[in-house]
Amino acid sequence: MSVKKIIFLNQKGGVGKTTTVVNLGSALAQMGKKVLILDLDSQGNLTSGIGSDGRGLGMYEVIAGKCSAQDACQKTLVDNLFIIPSNIHMAGLNIELVAQYERELFLKRALESLDDSWDYILGDCPPSLGLVTVNAMTWAQYVIIPMQCEYYAMEGLNLLMRTIGNIKKSLNPDLKILGILFTMFIKRTKLTTEVVDDVSSYFPDLIFSTIIPRSIRLAEAPSHGLPINIYDGRSNGAKAYGSLAKEVEKRVGKLK
Ligand SMILES: Nc1ncnc2c1ncn2[C@@H]1O[C@H](COP(=O)(O)OP(=O)(O)O)[C@@H](O)[C@H]1O
Ligand SMILES: [Mg+2]
């Protein structure tokens, strides 16, 4: 089995990273893929959003070498979907790592033994470009960038692209951008059309044709600890993430 390792990256908070990891993960699992999602954010939104209480072993223990990655994998309510949760200790990890030798490599080394057991491992990054995110970029093969169609979107995107470029040059030459995903799309207005056109003109091959609509059902689902395809499988949000899962499958096939 050849695993695909994808991280969801944007240094801005509230752009739909966590929502995309849980719902894309669940959509891929529904297609029969064996999927592991990693909560790399000390906020733990991915963990609570999939109904885990974050007790027991988590990403902190794995990265700090206190347990094996296998031992920290927990089942979720969804068949084929597993999580390594976040817990309160994640908050101190950036600082703990700073003083370590080869501090960028901790996640990669900790997850090496996992690769053969999964079709997809999806990493939900914190909203910063700190050391935990650098560790994620050093480990992953692919980046998906969720972004909202708003006026300042391009500014953040340029910094993110430069950072990814730097990591490619130094720590992970194999890192590829799988795509840019527009999230929380309301409707075609002059502004949203301009933003989509603008981003498309700079990165013509990177835009996913699936666009995630703003939807109350998507916002409600995590408070029930459920992904959208279980919470309301017929909603627009569920359809959008189902379509994204197919597009991701196609793209990783092509980019191999
Ligand atoms: N497509 C969407 N429609 C409506 N609400 C959404 C959508 N995507 C995310 N949200 C909500 O917006 C907030 C931020 O999303 P989240 O995925 O947590 O972003 P991030 O992980 O980038 O900080 C959350 O409350 C989430 O439920
Ligand atoms: Mg998040």
What is the CB < 6 Å shell around ligand 1?
13-19, 45, 127, 183-184, 212, 214-215, 218-219, 222
Looking from the CA of residue 41, the nearest atom of ligand 1 is: 21
Q: Whole-angstrom Cα distance, residue 249 to residue 143?
A: 14
The answer for residues whose C-beta is within 8 angstroms of residue 162's C-beta and 6 or more apart is none
- Which CATH number does the domain housing residue 73 bear? 3.40.50.300
User: pLDDT tens digit string along 73-117?
Assistant: 999 999 999 999 999 899 999 889 999 999 999 999 999 988 788
256 pLDDT above the threshold of 70: no
pLDDT band at 134 (very low <50, low <70, confident <90, very high): very high
Q: Whole-angstrom Cα distance, residue 219 to residue 223?
A: 8
Residue 38 β-bridge partners: 84, 123
Number of independent structural domains in the chain: 1
Which domain does 197 fall in, by range?
A: 4-255
Pocket mutation for ligand 1, best pick of 9, 19, 43 (most atoms within 8 Å of C-beta): 19
What is the rounded average pLDDT of the residues 149-165?
88
- Expressed in angstroms and rounded, the spacing between residue 126 Cα and the centre of ligand 2 is 6
How long is the chain?
256
pLDDT confidence of residue 193: 86
- Expressed in angstroms and rounded, the spacing between residue 127 Cα and the centre of ligand 2 is 7
**Closest by CA position to 132, among listed 9, 256, 3:** 9
What distance, in Å, lies between the first and last C-alpha atoms of the chain? 14
66 pLDDT above the threshold of 70: yes
pLDDT confidence of residue 140: 98
Looking from the CA of residue 221, the nearest atom of ligand 1 is: 27
Using CB atoms within 10 A of its CB, is residue 98 exposed (0-12), middle (13-18) or buried (19+)? exposed
Model pTM above 0.85: yes
38 pLDDT above the threshold of 90: yes
pLDDT confidence of residue 116: 81
pLDDT confidence of residue 47: 98
In 10 A of CB 61, how many CB atoms? 20
pLDDT band at 3 (very low <50, low <70, confident <90, very high): very high
Phi–psi pair at 125, nearest 5 degrees: -90, 155
Q: How far is CA 189 from the centre of its chain?
A: 28
187 pLDDT above the threshold of 90: no
User: pLDDT tens digit string along 193-235?
Assistant: 888 888 989 998 999 999 999 999 999 999 999 999 999 999 9
Provide the token pair at 32.
């029969």
Closest residue to atom 25 of ligand 1, CA basis: 219
Looking from the CA of residue 184, the nearest atom of ligand 1 is: 1
Closest residue to atom 9 of ligand 1, CA basis: 16
